[in-house]
Structure 1
Amino acid sequence: MSTHRSLAAGHTPAAGAAPATGTWSAAGKLPGPTYWAGAGAGALTLADGTVLMAGGEERARNAQDTAVLFDPATKEWRPTAPLSVSRRLHTLTKLSDGRVLAAGGLSGPYGGVSQPGVSSAEVYDPATRGWTATGAMHEARFAHSATLLADGRVLIAGGLAPRSALSQSALTSAEVYDPATGEWTVTAEPMNDARAGHPAVLLRNGTVLVPGGMTPIGRGLYAGQSFCEVYDPALDAWTPAGDLRSVRKSHQATLLRDGTVLVTGGDSPGLQDDWTYNPYSQWTTERYDPATRAWSAAEGMSTGRSSHRAVLLRSGRLLVIGGTDDATFDVGYQNAEVYDPQARTWTPTGGMVEGRWAFAAAELADGAVLVAGGLVRSGAGVPDNGDVVTDGTEFFTA
């Protein structure tokens, strides 16, 4: 596969000559081929070490109600109670007491760009392995973000909703869920900018950073954005937090050990900040310093990637996995690499068994990383211009 780079970002991409670190090995099959679009990881490691995955979508983009558990000790997948409604482009959040909140999303068969989201939410209890309905959000939404706050509440921000029979709108609204009461409270003020498909990061000071994201600009068309903002739970207020150097959607944002945030990749087709043109996914990265609320260019990855996953390892290094190129969306990458924030270098890992994007990923109790499902090929990459979705799973071991 080809690698696309824009050499106008002010630094050079990571060198590819370093020896590979870590290996990938197959880890069995999901009950069915599934993928998880959006910025969320799609998988959560529970207190007992098992990994929960719930919802998602299949080749025809129909929402799923299936929930499964992975047992690292036996390397086996087993079903658990299904969601009360099928969900895709929803969020899963592990609560402070170990339960899991599933909120919003799209439900049922694929309904095109005008399909409305759902406002319902439900909670999974690992002790009973069952889901219980909880209070509904004030606004139905999908492709939103969900962040566990320091006080145990959950912030839901942005997302998409129908604008007309042929288009969608991004939302500025946000609301907070209280697990103690099961109730939702709309934040005192909305976000400064409408956004969807964005990552959200809890910072060390208890505030939440939302960098970039997308907004609809026409029927089935979406533009990335560079605008960033921070939510302060103590003030119940949103404040602008500078701009990314490049507009980005389908990117990842990760809190590093030193309290800074690293943003990797994403779609950014079009003119760059120096007026050069780049039609491909970004290989560039950026780092946010909460102390100064400023963004600065960081070291480039070996390749541009969108719809990838980023997992912070116990060593403090960052594993960036798979993805695809937004110019074609036709093949998933087997490529993965590790970033060392102290040395500020990228090192390739061994290749994944199967290339994929829009997949689930979670760190296990022993420090290994599990990836599951995802899109393998799409569009011109397959004879019928459809999607090839995998049920394959695999481990990364450093």
Structure 2
Amino acid sequence: MNRRYIVALSFLLAFGLIACAGGGVTETPPVFVTSPQGNRVEALAMTTPRANAAAIRLRDGRVLICGGTATGQIGGVLSSAELYDPVARTFTPTGSMTVPRTGQTITMLSDGRVLLTGGDKNAGYRSQLASAEIYDPSTGTFSATGSMSTPREGHTATLLRDGQVLVAGGSPNGIQTTGSAEVYDPASGTFNRTGHLHQPRVAHVAALLGTGQVLIAGGGRGGMPGGYISYDTAETYDPATGRFTTVFAHMKSDRVGAAAVRLNDGRVLIVGGKSGKVIVGMRTLASMAPLNTAEIYDPELGTFIRTGDMSAPHYLATATTLDNGNVLVVGGWTIRGPIVVGMRDAEVFMPETNVFSHVGQTNVARLTNTATLLNDGEVLIAGGLADKALVTASVEFYSPRQHRFLMIPESSGGASSTLAQ
């Protein structure tokens, strides 16, 4: 299961979190690097700028990147998709999705096909999708499959041990929040209703536990009399009974728009997000403050344990487990003047010590980018909202061996990576 735990871009727009000055949100200018021959050339990039897209590594090592928004405006949502070939170091178009989608979930099925669910077809209220589709790597095409019972954005999709996929929570219209859940059966190509969340959640996190159960934690709820609220609660889903059970222990912080991964030892790391509780003196204020904190869920103890803090707050960041078991956290949300832009901060979590280590900065600021572990151990960082709220097609690679982010010349033919200039 490869899941990005971020809110759809239209969800941000609906809550007034992105205010773009001036006209459109367009692509960033080209990024240049120094080639192995010493020439200043354009850096490798996707075929089109994408923010809030979905990406996953296929069984043959290639990376599928699909959908997202090219502009952040009405009409800017993409149906196109492309493949990154790590051997040739190239991006090439593949078949287009059946409908434009941004903020969709992406899940690898047991047979190697890829399931896409929900997301938004446009920026704005009631643009959420109930439809789903399948990408077949053998043919390079997308095809429609059964639809969900309700439109969803900001939901989660988790591959279960039996090959089915649990889809939980989200928003059906960009404002309200649902507690419904359903299970996708690849054999029949249909969604079937299952148990109901104890709390309606959007922008929560989900992770498959070693027991086969699914942890659902944090998130928030819109459409409330007091406005938007965020949760410090969690629950687990049991596929054997089709029911959700409340976790007795609460999280160390309420979190919406966090990122989460299951660690190699079976624990679940939950990083960043935003909290609706800000303590000033003896008073608790509600202002949705970005978090630099993280915590771990221990399924054996059923408790949450706070880890060391990150060097910077990361809201709507990506979290990727590296081959050595460490976790790379990249990018997120920050405000520059009147607009929301991406950030360049990144860090690595080390489970053995439960602390974070700062690993410098990305070459391009990023928000709602994708992050995909490659077969060689590097992480492909692609797209997102960059400086000045511009959507970028740029890509870069995190090298665990060098502990830094690298960019490569376009058409390098596999030449060694170089730092951006």
- With the length of structure 1 as denominator, give the TM-score of the two structures: 0.84
- Give the aligned partner of residue 266 of structure 1: 273
Contact 2:133 2:144 in 1 (8 A): yes
Match status 1:247 vs 2:254: yes
User: Is 1:391 paired with 2:393?
Assistant: yes
Within the candidate set 147, 150, 156, 1:145 is matched to 156
Q: Determine the C-alpha separation between the residues in 2 that align with 1:265 and 1:329.
A: 20
Q: Report deviation, 1:344.
A: 2.3
1:353 paired to 2:394: no
Aligned twin of 2:214: 208
Q: Indicate the SS of the match to 1:93.
A: strand
Aligned to 1:194: 200
* Structure 2 CA distance for partners of 1:251 and 1:272, relative to 1, 3 Å: farther
Q: TM-score, normalised by structure 2?
A: 0.79
What does 1:46-125 align with in structure 2 at a 5 Å threshold? 46-61=58-73, 62-107=76-121, 109-110=122-123, 112=124, 114-125=125-136
Give 1:345 deviation, angstroms: 2.5
Q: Percent identity?
A: 37
Structure 1 counterpart of 2:415: none
Q: CA deviation at 1:272?
A: 4.5
| CA displacement at 1:180 relative to structure 2 | 0.8
> CA RMSD, aligned part only?
2.4
Unaligned regions of 5+ residues in structure 1, if any? 1-23
249 and 329 in structure 1: CA distance in 2 versus 1, 3 angstrom threshold = farther
Aligned match of 1:185: 192
Q: Does 1:44 align with 2:60?
A: no
SS in 1 for 2:395: strand
Q: Does 1:368 align with 2:378?
A: yes
Contact in 1 for aligned 2:150/2:172 (Cα 8 Å): no
Q: CA offsets per residue over residues 339-370 of structure 1, 9 Å max, x none?
A: 11102232221321111111111000111000
1:307 aligns with 2:312: no
Which digits, 9 at most, give the CA deviation of each residue in 1:77-116, with x for residues without a partner? 0000000111112111111111001111211x42x2x224
**Cα distance, 1:204–1:326 mapped onto 2, change above 3 Å:** farther
Quote the Cα distance in structure 2 between the aligned partners of 1:45 and 1:123. Answer: 15
**Equivalent pairs, count:** 355
Q: Which amino acid letter does the alignment assign opposite residue 240 of structure 1?
A: T
Contiguous gaps of at least 5 residues in structure 2:
1-32, 35-41, 401-421
Find the aligned partners of 2:46 and 2:235 in 1 and give their Cα distance. Answer: 37
Aligned to 2:182: 175
Deviation at 1:224, TM superposition (A): 2.0
Paired residue for 1:323?
Answer: 332
Following superposition, the deviation at residue 311 of structure 1 comes to 0.5
**Amino acid corresponding to residue 95 of structure 1 in structure 2:** L
Letter in 2 for 1:28: L
